[in-house]
């Protein structure tokens, strides 16, 4: 995620490669990433943020509080932009010793790798309107950024963060069945991926509801109707809603474990 964000920011001209310093769990890892991306690197997280104006926190949830505590002394008065799922702004502030940092939380999804991500951004009261504008500019370099309330981020995490994995499971099933039916895998992949991408584009570009668009595609007693009948019998719709609910609940659990 961090590498994708860096590439987007450099490509869009928001910042230069020389304006970015990378740190990681090991200096070797940081140096390797910096060499690949053309940025600077630091031996430690504390060193990396010492002269920064804005700090991106791109770590696993289990490590977030420890990292913020580690760099707290060098975070005073700075903007911290977190991409970590489930870790509340209040917990990040507490981990910093409430040293006057400003916190913005975000939830990017995997498509930021292609600069086509959807990124939800939530401003904590500690951050200013200018901080939010800066964060939105950063994230706009890798996709579409929209502002949400922090209390909605658990749902955002389930839908936007985890959702692509659920869609990929559907894609996997479509491809495998096409191959089983005799289609070569490359063709099956192009056709199935195009079908899902096209469906998503119809919703986002036309503004029509998925149910209405689905009805347009479905002819009575046709092929689509036959397939939908199987999905309805299998309660696929309810299963996907349950998956979103489970992902949201897990995000909430992560925050309570801090």
Give the model's pLDDT for residue 254.
82
CB 6 within 8 A of CB 24: no
Angle between helices 2-12 and 27-37 (to 10 degrees): 30
Helix-, strand-, coil-residue percentages of the chain, each rounded to 5: 60, 10, 25
21-22 and 40-41 beta bridge pairing: parallel
pLDDT by 10-residue block (mean), the chain, 258 residues:
87 84 87 91 92 93 93 93 94 89 94 90 96 95 94 94 95 98 98 96 95 95 96 96 96 80
Give the model's pLDDT for residue 255.
77
- CATH numbers and ranges of domains, the chain: 2-149 (3.40.50.720), 163-256 (1.10.3730.10)
Give the model's pLDDT for residue 18.
83
Give the model's pLDDT for residue 9.
86
Give the model's pLDDT for residue 10.
87
Helix (H) or strand (E) holding 79: strand 79-82
Give the model's pLDDT for residue 258.
64
Q: How far apart are CA 107 and CA 177, in angstroms?
A: 33
Give the model's pLDDT for residue 211.
95
What lies within 8 Å, CB to CB, of 41 at 6+ separation is 21, 22, 23, 27, 30, 31, 33, 34, 35, 48
Give the model's pLDDT for residue 151.
94
């Amino acid at each position: 995620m961090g590498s994708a964000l860096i590439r987007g920011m450099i490509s869009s001209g928001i910042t230069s490669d020389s304006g970015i310093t990378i740190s990681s769990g090991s200096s070797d890892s940081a140096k390797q990433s910096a060499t690949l991306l053309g940025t600077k690197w630091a031996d430690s997280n504390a060193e990396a943020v010492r002269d920064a104006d804005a700090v991106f926190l791109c770590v696993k949830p289990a490590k977030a509080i420890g990292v913020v505590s580690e760099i707290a002394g060098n975070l005073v008065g700075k903007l911290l932009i977190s991409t970590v799922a489930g870790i509340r702004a209040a917990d990040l502030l507490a981990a910093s010793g409430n040293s006057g940092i400003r916190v913005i939380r975000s939830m990017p999804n995997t498509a930021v790798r292609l600069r086509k991500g959807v990124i939800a951004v939530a401003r904590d009261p500690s951050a200013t309107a200018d901080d939010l504008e800066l964060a939105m500019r950063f994230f706009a370099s890798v996709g579409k950024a929209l502002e949400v309330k922090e209390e909605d981020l658990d749902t955002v995490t389930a839908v936007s963060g985890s959702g692509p994995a659920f869609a990929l499971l559907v894609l996997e099933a479509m491809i495998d069945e096409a191959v089983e039916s005799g289609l070569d895998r490359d063709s099956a992949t192009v056709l199935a991926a195009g079908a899902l991408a096209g469906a998503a584009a119809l919703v986002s570009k036309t503004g029509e509801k998925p149910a209405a668009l689905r009805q347009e595609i479905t002819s009575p007693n046709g092929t689509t109707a036959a397939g939908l009948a199987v999905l309805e019998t299998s309660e696929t719709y309810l299963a996907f809603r349950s998956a979103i609910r489970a992902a949201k609940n897990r995000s909430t659990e992560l925050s309570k474990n801090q």
